[in-house]
Amino acid sequence: MSQADGLIVIIDYGSGNLRSAEKAFARQAKGRPVLVSGEPDEVRRAAHIVLPGVGAFGDCAQGLRAIGGMVEALNEAVMEKAIPFLGICVGMQLMCRHGLERAAPQSPHDGLGWFDGQVRALNVPPALKVPHMGWNEIAIHQDHPVIAPLDGEDVYFVHGYGAAMAAAAQGDIAATTDYGGPVIAALARDNMIGVQFHPEKSQAAGLGLIERFLEWRP
């Protein structure tokens, strides 16, 4: 299978609800092959790449780097070849420079560094529970063909940490949600999209995002 086949690769690095993600993407793939794989060579052949993620930032980063050549394959496909990429939940967080979950501030976990942001614990009023779990409405900040149609839609979140962007990277914020203040719900730049929510659990709104992503040719 190759990029010419429209191959969709969901990266398996020991994190994420891969079965539900695979089912959701297969449903919207319109006959295109969907492959769950931890092989860097499959990532290089992909026409669209998906990085899911459930759990702690550091564990997920370690799991991704434990696959020999995977980070190099991702950088080649996404940063050099500009293959469309979607990070989901911790997958979005890993697109940032650093993560502070289970780390000292002076020695954070390294992410992929594609977005100039740091992943920090949610800072919410005491009346609100952490993790932020359940349905919440999102507001759009970019006129992005994949994300903009979700303006005002409810999507499903499960997270206790969120991205905080550097001053120069505020333009990469594609959507926010309100949880005791603005929380980044999506990031986007060039061929890269990250969503903090779970499209595979967000019913029609999430399936619509998946369909638009798979049709997207940035």
The residues annotated as belonging to the active site are: 89, 198, 200
Dihedral sign computed on CA atoms, order 8, 14, 17, 18? positive
**Tokens standing for 10?**
């969901």
Per the listing, tokens 């614990």 go with 121
The CA–CA distances, whole Å, from 75 to 133, 143, 183, 189, 207 equal 31, 26, 27, 15, 27
Cβ-Cβ contacts under 8 Å for 138 (sequence gap 6 or more): 150, 151, 152, 153, 154, 155, 175, 176, 177, 185, 186, 197
Sign of the torsion formed by the C-alpha atoms of 51, 52, 56 and 59: negative
For the chain, what is the total number of helices (H) and then of strands (E)? 6, 13
Please give the C-alpha separations between residue 154 and each of 123, 177, 197, in angstroms, as whole numbers.
21, 9, 10
For residues 43 and 69, the answer to whether their CB atoms sit within 8 Å is no
